[in-house]
């Protein structure tokens, strides 16, 4: 049986053509980071209140950090959250 050739291009190409590639990529990264932090908190049985106290921030700030749709989080806040749960934040240019 012959395989049909796919119609269209790659998703990345489409997003670039639409001019939203960087925005979509940033949102995806933030969603992954928020999910990972929530998973570590669950593993370590850390409540949001405990996490906020350990980070020395308000609960509302932690809620913004954990909100997958809120991309206005600073690198400092992400690094502090990682340190509080015994992890490191690693960013790199690829």
CA distance 35 to 67: 9
Question: Comparing 84 with 8, which gets the higher pLDDT?
Answer: 84
Spatial CB neighbours of 78, under 8 Å, sequence gap ≥ 6: 33, 65, 89
CA distances from 33 to 3, 17, 87 (A): 38, 26, 12
Spatial CB neighbours of 7, under 8 Å, sequence gap ≥ 6: none
Compute the average pLDDT of residues 18-30. 90
Q: What does the chain come to in residues?
A: 94
CATH class of 20-84: mainly alpha
pLDDT beyond 70 at 51: yes
Q: Where are the domains of the chain?
A: 20-84
pLDDT beyond 80 at 9: no
**Residue 6: what pLDDT?**
63
**Residue 91: what pLDDT?**
87
**Residue 40: what pLDDT?**
97
Helix axes 21-43, 59-66, angle to 10 degrees: 120
């Amino acid at each position: 049986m012959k395989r049909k050739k796919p119609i269209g291009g790659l998703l990345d190409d489409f997003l670039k053509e639409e001019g939203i590639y960087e925005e979509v990529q940033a949102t995806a990264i933030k969603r992954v980071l928020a999910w990972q932090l929530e998973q570590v908190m669950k593993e370590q049985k850390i409540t949001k209140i405990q996490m906020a106290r350990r980070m020395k921030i308000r609960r509302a700030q932690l809620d913004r950090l954990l909100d997958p749709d809120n991309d206005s989080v600073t690198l400092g806040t992400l690094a502090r959250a990682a340190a509080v749960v015994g992890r490191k934040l690693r960013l790199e240019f690829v």
